[in-house]
Amino acid sequence: MAVERRVIVPLIVACALFMQNLDSTALATALPAIAQSLHETPLRLHLVITSFMLSLAAFLPVSGWVADRFGARTIFRLAIVIFTLASVACGLTDSFEMLLLARVVQGAGGALMVPVGRLILVRSVAKSELISAMALMGMPALIGPIIGPLLAGVLITYASWRWIFWVNVPIGVLGIILVTIFIEDVREPDVKPFDWRGFALSSLGLCGTLFGLDALTTHHKADPIAIAALVSGLIAMVLYVFHARRVDNPILDLKLLKFQTFRVSVTGGSLFRIGVGAVPFLLPLMMQQGFGYSPIESGAITFVSAAGSFGMRTMSKQVLRRFGFRKVMIWNTLIASFFMLACGLFTPESSRTFMMTIIFMGGVFRSLQFTALNTIAFAEIEGPLMSQATSFSQMVQRLSLSLGVAVSAFVLFLVGGEGSQMPVEAFATAFVVVGALSAVSLFSFVRLSEGAGDEIAGRQMVRSRRFDR
């Protein structure tokens, strides 16, 4: 039965990840087509992505508490229902504003779906099996990004962009059935009262800050509403820090940062993911708007990133066991950031083989970094702190991915303006900026101790065998 849980649980959680990843990668390819259909500029359509991220930021802090209070299986299943129904609504909308609203609801479902799924996973397997379970969970989930760009190209060309949302329906139904049959209703026996004040402050702080930054970086003049949102968000975040220090059960427990491995995963991982969040936004837009490729041509090139990620998932445990988390994360940061920067070398005359090679290799090394970051976050976390750590880490991940989109959109606007056609130079500059930001995460990883994460990497066992010999 232990073997079955080690395999079945990650694969079921992967259904949720597959659905969300398919949706996000297909949407990135479809942005120009959606912009044309809704009579908007492709650059403004980045709000369709960031609105989803804003909703995630607002509702992620509550995911751990509701899973403990009402049961992880119940909340996971409900989240899949919300995400699936919101996907239907996204496909039915006929206006930019209604699409944003549907994406907000979809984000609320995603805010519960992914972190609660990860919580189920980390509570269901031993730490020594965590890397394998994470990799197994990630492999089916990566099929979404592999087929997403290609599927979007085919649907846009031969059907409609609306189908990129509607394909979530059968996946969601399958996920609900599998969760009901195989997932245990894991919950904490002693759940503390909900931190309503903390929830209000954290949601206002995160959403206000993100909205303000995004609005200010995508408009040519200071918007009073954006400035007010940014200031309000920053004030709310400061107030939350003081609030979290005074209460026993803060919705986001800042004391988790006292654990070195968790702290490094949050700080370094946030910087690294800024670049990662920008790449799937920039690549399809560059190829369709800058190079004049069709959606199918664009998807046929960019899908290799996920193919590279898929291949690395099978080897990440062996790499981490051989070299350790610290060494892998330091050197891999430099390599992965280099391949982000290299995307800025693409021109309309670049061979497709060259572009696919760069994109593929970037996917390989980003996947290794993801596995390391997602796993080491739980190296020192035990028991009831699991739900808090899951919500905290997922919130930070989504925020940094959203910042990646906002930063890259800002650079495109600065260099290329707000027109419907972006110059190739604007994309090259954006890739340089986000690649450099990802490389800066190196300074967080050098602070890790040499033996950090050795238990979950299985390195202690290897050392023990060497000593016995």
- Note the pLDDT of residue 464: 44
In a domain, 308, yes or no: yes
Contact 161, 48 (CB under 8 A): no
pTM of the predicted model as reported, rounded to 2 decimal places: 0.70
Exposure string of 317-338, with b = 16+ CB inside 10 Å and e = fewer, is: bebbbebbbbebbbebbeebbb
Do 133 and 199 lie in one domain? The reply is no
**Rounded to a whole number, what is the distance in angstroms from the first to the last CA of the chain?**
34
Length of the chain in residues, anyone? 469
Tell which of 250, 276, 294 closes a domain: 250
Question: Directed axis angle between helix 130-158 and helix 304-313, to 10°?
Answer: 160
Do 53 and 150 lie in one domain? The reply is yes
- Note the pLDDT of residue 358: 93
Do 312 and 439 lie in one domain? The reply is yes
CATH number of 8's domain: 1.20.1250.20
Percent of the chain with pLDDT over 70: 85
- Note the pLDDT of residue 371: 83
In a domain, 39, yes or no: yes
Using the structure block, give the residue that is written with the tokens 């046929």. Answer: 300
Tell which of 250, 270, 291 closes a domain: 250
Do 232 and 173 lie in one domain? The reply is no
Do 223 and 92 lie in one domain? The reply is no
Measured distance CA(367)–CA(357) in Å, rounded: 15
- Note the pLDDT of residue 6: 61
In a domain, 371, yes or no: yes
In a domain, 152, yes or no: yes
- Note the pLDDT of residue 361: 92
Do 59 and 204 lie in one domain? The reply is no
User: What's the total number of domains in the chain?
Assistant: 2
- Note the pLDDT of residue 158: 83
Tell which of 228, 250, 272 closes a domain: 250
Do 268 and 237 lie in one domain? The reply is no
Closest CA to 197 of 254, 244, 253, 229: 244
In a domain, 217, yes or no: yes
Do 108 and 136 lie in one domain? The reply is yes
Do 150 and 240 lie in one domain? The reply is no
Token output for 423 = 């110059």
Contact 209, 233 (CB under 8 A): yes
Do 447 and 362 lie in one domain? The reply is yes
In what helix (H) or strand (E) does residue 116 lie, and over which residues does it extend? helix 96-124
Do 176 and 206 lie in one domain? The reply is no
Structural domain boundaries, residue 37? 2-184+251-468
Residues of the chain with pLDDT under 70: 1-7, 42-43, 126-128, 130-131, 134-136, 138-146, 148, 186-189, 216-222, 313, 383-384, 417-421, 459-469
Do 230 and 283 lie in one domain? The reply is no
In a domain, 141, yes or no: yes
In a domain, 190, yes or no: no
